[in-house]
Amino acid sequence: MTPPATPLPSIKASQINPPPDWALLQRQLISLLEQAGDLATEKYARSDGQVYHIFDVDDAYESRSMRGIFYALGGDRRFLDIAKREYDAITWIYGDERVLPAGAPPHPMYMPQLHNEYWNLSVPFNADWFHMGEGNQMFYDFGVADPTNPANRERARKFAAMYIGEDPNAPNWDPEHKIIRSPLHGGAGPFLSCRQHQGMIHKSLEVSDHVHLVRNFLDRGSLGDFG
């Protein structure tokens, strides 16, 4: 027999008092940040959300992050709208499915770095959790600021599928050993071969075994030279 549900506690306000000083200062700070956010949006992005600067994709996302969480903390709704617009624009700009217009002048820093809206392997050393953690901040904030948004809910499911064995085009999960198959991974799957000229490792070799890849990735002077 199912026990009866415990009723939720009810709190009722019986009087109105002036807000405390800290709350007034907080609202003043939020108002000032709104002015700064408007100036930054006007100066550094187009009206459709495309940013003027070109970075690695994690830096592009990171440079536009915090607007969603700012809205969740009390900022104006327009900052959530700005965050969505710029996230969609950056995702489109860096997608490897995008076809550049004929004759478009190349930017020396531009490279498509997303596949299926998540990291690809065109810049392998950017397809790790460190860089993804930087770039994903913008997306994480939507979970607090607008958790019912259908497009982002679908993205969350899609990204999760890449790491739990449900996306055959991104086989990052090793079900036998229960690990991610490579330290470099993303929407195009795991990175399972290395060459010295890519600057990832100091040994010149071709490997397909992900255990060897992990060993050689760690065996770098910058990471303590694990021998």
Alpha-carbon gap, residue 214 to 208, rounded angstroms: 11
Asked if residue 140 is part of any domain, the answer here is: yes
Residue 197 DSSP SS3 = helix
Task: Look at residue 89 and tell me if it is in a domain.
Answer: yes
Cα-based torsion angle of the residue sequence 56, 61, 66, 67 in order, rounded to the nearest 10 degrees: 140
Contacts of 154 (CB under 8 A, 6+ apart): none
Burial class (CB in 10 A: 0-12, 13-18, 19+), 48: exposed
Question: Is 200 part of a structural domain of the chain?
Answer: no
Residue 11 lies in a domain: no
| Count: domains in the chain | 1
Nearest to 196 by CA among 186, 187, 206, 188: 206
Neighbours of 178 (CB within 10 A): 7
Q: What's the domain range around 44?
A: 31-168
Which residues fall within 8 angstroms of residue 136, CB to CB, at 6 or more apart? Answer: 61
DSSP 23-37: HHHHHHHHHHHHHHH
Answer whether residue 145 is part of any domain: yes
DSSP string, 70-131: HHHTT--HHHHHHHHHHHHHHHHHTBTT--PPTTPPPPTT----EETTEE-SSSGGGSSHHH
Residue 205 lies in a domain: no
In a domain, 18, yes or no: no
Residue with tokens 């030279």: 225
Host H or E run for residue 216: helix 210-218
pLDDT tens for the chain, 227 residues: list them. Answer: 677 778 888 988 899 999 999 999 999 999 999 999 999 999 999 999 999 888 889 999 999 999 999 999 999 999 999 999 999 999 999 999 888 778 777 777 788 899 999 999 888 888 999 999 999 999 999 999 999 999 999 999 999 999 999 999 999 999 999 999 999 999 999 988 755 334 333 333 343 344 454 455 445 444 433 33
For residue 138, being part of any structural domain is answered with yes
Residues 6+ apart with CB under 8 A from 86: 45, 49, 51, 64, 67
Predicted TM-score (pTM) of the model is 0.78
